[in-house]
Amino acid sequence: MWAAMALIVLLFFLSVYGAFVGPQRAKDFFNGTALGVYWVAFGLLLAVGIVLFRRLLRVPALLLVHAGCILILAGAIWGSDAGRSLQKTLLGIDIVPTGQMQIYEGYSDNRVILEDNEIRELPFYIKLKDFRLEYYQPGHIYIQTRQGDAAWEFPVQIGARFQLGPQFGTVEIVKVFENFKIAIDGDSSAAVDEPGTGTNAALEVRIQSPDGRISTRYLFERSRGHIYPDAPLYMSYERVIRDYVSELQVVRNGRVVARKDVEVNHPLHFGGYHFYQHSYDAQAAEYTVLMVGPDTGLASVYGGFLMLCIGAFWHFWLRKLPKPAQTGPAEQTQETSKWKSNIQSRAY
Amino acid sequence: MEIKYTIQGLLIYISIAAYLLALLVSLLRRPRAAHTLYVLGFVVALVSFGYRWHHVRHVPMQNLFEVFLCLGMIYPVSVFCRRVLHIGGRSADMLIGAVVLVPAGFFFNADPQMLPPALQSWLFAPHVAVYMISYVFMTKAASHALWQLVGRDPKSDQNLLPPEEATYRLICIGFPLLTLGLVLGSVWGKLAWGDYWGWDPKELWSLASWLVYVGYLHYRYMSAKRHPSVNSLWAIAGVVVIVVTLLWVNLSRLFAGLHTYAAG
Ligand code: HEM
């Protein structure tokens, strides 16, 4: 059991070290050969512990906790890079490691670009039906004086008129554009909204200065405030993204076999892989970037998580904490001494 | 440091004041009055949390400000410990309540933020809530560990557990919650970022704090309680690492990691 303590304390220091070096270096460190040996040793020690200390077998809650840890370790090792190359050598199973897919709307693809830019192919295709951004409603218009001594923020609503005080007059929101375009017809041009063909969100505002002059301004979400460098007021149109949604279809042998709207926190799971919303075309929202990762070893890790949690609650909440009616120092002492004798009858 | 001239700020300050007064009155051996003040502080902390919830329209556990606001509602833990576990230390709880509200009242930014997509998950609230409850129990455990170290026992007429035993019991409550918090965070990481473990500093610090308690439990079992002071040191070390997990990683900005959205 001293060995167990040593490994636990060592892992504590290794974690602290990992926290100092940052995620990328920590990942390389914990996946390196030295740590590989450590993980296997930990797993083996847990297994040996279960065999040697009969109480770990006899008390189901403790068995759940310790066996849960073994499952987590085993699943994590099986799903790691080293585990996958082992599977390839031993079992001939070739799993595509974690990478990214970039898919344009209306197209399908099966190519995964790995971290080192190698391209691998999945045994099925993913088709992007549509990609869209969803925003918190309403958006906001921010107004500030050039000197920065006064600022306002208003929710966007067509027809809403805001008073900025006697010095600056009023601002009225005239139109909201999903995709602002200029339509040219002969000599004249006009601002039009063409939603669905791209994203260029904008606002048309009418400003009435205190002397009664009226001017029109366009505020673009993507180029904040650069358009009117000389105007006394700086204005911008801002929206907060609520979600990114990729409407996906899985195509195998020319047939759609699954479909799902993938959002952040709602990945698609198919054929041993998870597909996550990862990034998107910030200019025109025409393509999506998915992160693809194999689910190798995941069932074992999740099974271990479940066992660890059930075991911990069972052991500590149900076994260790006496029922409320019995809880008192008198019973406590009895329980403790019973417990102590258990402990002392153990040879370490 | 900034003073919040808002209703939210006012509620926090009233709550802190009530907790501190309760502590003072309790030290002056006026238990009834101390209890009334403690309850008052709790009710105001509850109102303050509810007000925030109404204001931001999501469970307010998104950033450090909200997390500390939540930690300030410590009274039910005191009642549970006294009634069910026979563990005292109410004065320390009053102090813990006031201390955790100070960062919310004076240091963290309270501007409401709309939830970024990654935080819109059913796992988000339970993950944070479970951690918070466990942190409260672990802090209380450390306060009893301190009493053990300075050799203070509860009066025999109070029907309360001695500090070493109390520390263990509190850790018995907190450890499964800490485990669940870690697991929920991992499952959420898988759903949101595609990996159940990202080797992010925040994750590694929470693993480190969990390991301190795993170490404590094994050490206490192994040593058969022959070295109660060492047990207490483990329990105190646990809270030190928890504080690092909670604060230092976010505030120091020393490490670039996934969890930076939680910075106050
Ligand atoms: C991260 C890994 C581990 C975790 C989470 C863990 C967890 C636990 C927990 C929660 C207890 C109950 C303590 C108590 O009742 O106060 C325990 C007891 C014990 N553990 Fe572990 N443990 C781990 C690793 C190990 C290893 C590697 C060994 C092997 C030598 C081991 C051997 C034992 C023994 C012998 C007990 C005493 C059981 C009893 O009550 O009779 N543990 N462990």
- Give the one of A5, A19, A332 whose C-beta lies nearest to B218's C-beta: A5
HSE-CB for A132 with a 13 A CA cutoff:
11
- Pick from A69-73, A96-100, B256-260: least confident: B256-260
Distance CA A180, CA A199 (A): 8
Quick check: A345 contacting B, CB < 8 Å? no
pLDDT at A346: 33
Query: Does the C-beta of B217 come closer than 6 Å to ligand 1?
Result: yes
pLDDT at residue A327 above 60? no
Tell me what the pLDDT averaged over chain B comes to.
Answer: 88
pLDDT at residue A323 above 50? no
Question: What residues in B contact A315, CB-CB < 8 Å?
Answer: 176
Question: What residues in A contact B118, CB-CB < 8 Å?
Answer: 264-265
Task: Find tokens 């009242």 and name the residue.
Answer: B105
- Report yes or no: B230 and A13 within 8 Å, Cβ to Cβ: no
Helices in B57-162 by DSSP H: which ranges?
64-71, 75-80, 90-102, 124-150
pLDDT at residue A347 above 70? no
Quick check: B27 contacting A, CB < 8 Å? no
- Mutation pick for ligand 1 pocket among B173, B178, B218, B225 (CB with most ligand atoms within 8 Å): B218
Dihedral angle over CA of B186, B183, A268, A195, nearest 10: -60
Query: Does the C-beta of A56 come closer than 6 Å to ligand 1?
Result: yes
Q: What is the 3-state secondary structure (H, E, C) of A169-234?
A: CEEEEEEEECEEEEEEECCEEEEEECCCCCCECEEEEEEECCCCCEEEEEEECCCCCCCCCCCCEE
pLDDT at residue A343 above 60? no
Chain A segment 234-253 residues within 8 A of B by beta carbon are 240-244
pLDDT at A333: 40
Q: What is the pLDDT of residues B238-250, one digit of tens each?
A: 999 999 998 765 6
B48-65: average pLDDT: 86
pLDDT at residue B134 above 90? yes
A124-133: average pLDDT: 92
pLDDT at A165: 84
Q: Do A15 and B211 touch (CB under 8 A)?
A: yes
- Pick from A332-341, B148-157, B203-212: least confident: A332-341
Token reading at B93: 């709880």
Burial A28-47 (b: 16+ CB within 10 A, else e): eebeeeeeeebbeebbebbe
A84-104: average pLDDT: 91
Cα-only R_g, chain B: 19
Q: Do B114 and A136 touch (CB under 8 A)?
A: yes
How far is ligand 1, taken at its centre, from the CA of residue A69, in Å? Answer: 10
pLDDT at B4: 87
pLDDT at residue B120 above 80? no
- Give the one of A305, A317, A348 whose C-beta lies nearest to B222's C-beta: A348
B14 to chain A nearest CA, in Å? Answer: 30
Name which residue sits closest to atom 18 of ligand 1, judged by CA: B218
pLDDT at A293: 92
Q: Tell me which chain A residue has its CA closest to the CA of residue B244.
A: A16
Tell me what the pLDDT averaged over chain A comes to.
Answer: 86
More confident residue, A198 or B261: A198
- Mutation pick for ligand 1 pocket among A65, A71, A310 (CB with most ligand atoms within 8 Å): A65
- Give the one of A8, A15, A313 whose C-beta lies nearest to B176's C-beta: A313
Token reading at B263: 């910075």
B68 to chain A nearest CA, in Å? Answer: 23
For residue B262, what pLDDT band results from cuts at 50, 70 and 90? Answer: very low
**ipTM for this model:** 0.87
Name which residue sits closest to atom 40 of ligand 1, judged by CA: A55
How far is ligand 1, taken at its centre, from the CA of residue A66, in Å? Answer: 7
pLDDT at A49: 95
Q: What is the pLDDT of residues B62-115, one digit of tens each?
A: 777 888 899 899 999 999 999 888 898 889 999 999 998 998 999 888 887 776
Nearest Cα neighbor of B190 from B113, B258, B115, B260 is: B258
Question: What residues in B contact A76, CB-CB < 8 Å?
Answer: 197
Token reading at B176: 């499964």
Q: Do B215 and A12 touch (CB under 8 A)?
A: yes
Chain B segment 82-101 residues within 8 A of A by beta carbon are 83-86
pLDDT at residue B128 above 50? yes
Question: What residues in A contact B160, CB-CB < 8 Å?
Answer: 329
Chain B segment 204-243 residues within 8 A of A by beta carbon are 204-205, 207-208, 211-212, 214-215, 218-219, 221-222, 224-225
